[in-house]
Structure 1
Amino acid sequence: MLISFVLVVPNANEEFRNTVESVLKQNNKSNYELIVVLDRSIDDLEANDYFYSLFKKNKNVKLVFNNDRHGSSYSWNVGIDICSGDYIKFISQGDTLESDFLDRVLGAINSHKDISLDIIEYNFSFKGDQIIASKSYLEPNKVYNLKEDYEPLALTNNLLFNKLFKTDVIKKYNVRFRNQVRFDMLFFYIIYSQSKNYIYLNSKSFENIILRQVQYSNFDIVNQWTHIFNYYRRIKKYNDLHDQLKYSYYKTILHIWIWTIAKTDNKVLIRKALEFVNRKYEPKKDLFVKNNIVFKETKDLTFKELAENFSEYYRDYLKTNK
């Protein structure tokens, strides 16, 4: 079996049906399993009937009841424990896969039969008021040898949901999500450190990911970086990968995180985020801009301009939003 899709359903709104149907409508019907983890009390009879029927009608569906709310991290770990696929793919409630998702992934794997692809990243689209295509500065369809090619560490889109992870790597090194952390980037960075080969599939969008307000602390994303840095120090790779890690960190907090929070239109929250970034980045700005080898060679001109002129953006925002 190629892929284990893990879907956590924290509530009974209609979004989950779109996600489930997008998996079941794959052109390739036989090379996947869908693990549905119901992370809530079992009191919605109508929704339960839907899932019971789904389980009975589809041999490749596994159904798990948590009986109470334990959180996404706990539920993702449940999916890891019972999955049977060569790869595991976490999918968020409401997000939808293209019908040829599995075929295209299989095509990429078959094109590199002599290589174990441990992490597969792919294009996706953010779906909100408008559709926004993802963008990557990784070399399209290149297999990166992670023992000597460090670009993915710096240039990855560090979303959890636009990747497939080799199940053997996860289980061999017992990589798990930390409980009570809703979006655990540390999971990805640990798997990266133990993987051999990485590929970025550059073609039309594989998946539509809903752009929504986060359902957890907005600071969870940036607070995880302390754990990421400490992990790489612990495995004695921090010094060798310092520039790649710092580039990814600053790209996350200056660009991706601020952009995501700006979507909330919460001026108090935006101000707090900008103040946080200013404290973390401004004292290190000159060192980063002048010496970071990844930044000096970056083709991401939007991030480059933001990093070089962040203090101006910060002051302008404070002036116009007193």
Structure 2
Amino acid sequence: MKCLANHVKVDISTLKGVLKIKKFDLAIIGAGPIGLFAANYAQLHGLKTVIFDSLNEVGGQPQMLYPFKTINDIPVYQAITATNLITQLKKGLNKDTSIVTNHSVTQIEKRNEEILIDDKYSTRSLIIATGNGAFDPKKLPLKLDSEIEKRIHYYVRNPKEFSGKTVAIFGGGDSALDWALELSHFSNIVLVHRRPQFRGLESTLSKLRQLKNVKIITPYLPKQIQIEDNQLSVTLKRMGNTYLQKICCDQIVVAYGFKANNRLIRKWGIKLTDARIAVNSSMQTNLPGIYAVGDAISYPGRVPVIGVGFGEVQIAINAIMRDLFPEKTLTIHSTSM
């Protein structure tokens, strides 16, 4: 009897574990603007959806890194701040969408027609919308003491904290240019890039060149930093020769980008191309039922802007609908007759 009782107890425990698994039509990993738009578009097609994010709030990099930034390439909006964009995307979500924050998805297992996520969630389809991945910034490649590190920043959430300061910004992409432009309203700016050409928008660079409180130094890299007279004294080395130049500033903002961490994606068996997820014309990965969109993916000619990611979402979800409900007549867009 004792052995039988133990056997029954194990069966009941296993059954409880199965009952706790929450079932969905679609799971989305990543709650940035692309992931939130995917949840909104999934609702139009009646898909029961869950969206995961490792951060404690939705919004992804725009919300965490540049909430103040005005975005000019979103369809419909001539101009909208990152915070307002996220607010609008959140506003459209209803009870058919579950949001799970502070949750890093670590395990994905394909079981017949379902995908099991972290042994707690079961979904019929999956979209990866993780963007550039985890918030792991590329650090300034110099030896720094604790006092200097206090003055070096990899995120700017409140530009007014730099009011009245001289701020050196290192980088040549959109983040560096956007931060330089926004901080120029409150601070003196020294923008340092290792190449003569910038990767960011020419329109932003043009505005910066017209500002008297913005100094642009190229092509230089930081070689040494120390504190002198309560300021950061930064020695710059010109690319291609041994010429050195020194600048002084109160704070430093580093905009060298973020390290893509695709270790888990590789573990799941998803094929990568140049550290990005490889997809076909339907945004499907090499694994059936698993799709990817936004800056997490790679294909020839892709442009890394939010508007393109929105279009990729529509392609992916239409493909998912055809796969899950082949008997249905699919409404491609909300204005269809």
Shorter chain as normaliser: what TM range?
under 0.3
- Report the structure, 1 or 2, having the larger helix content: 1
| TM-score, with length taken from structure 2 | 0.27
| TM-score, with length taken from structure 1 | 0.28
- Report the structure, 1 or 2, having the larger strand content: 2
**Structure of larger gyration radius:** 2
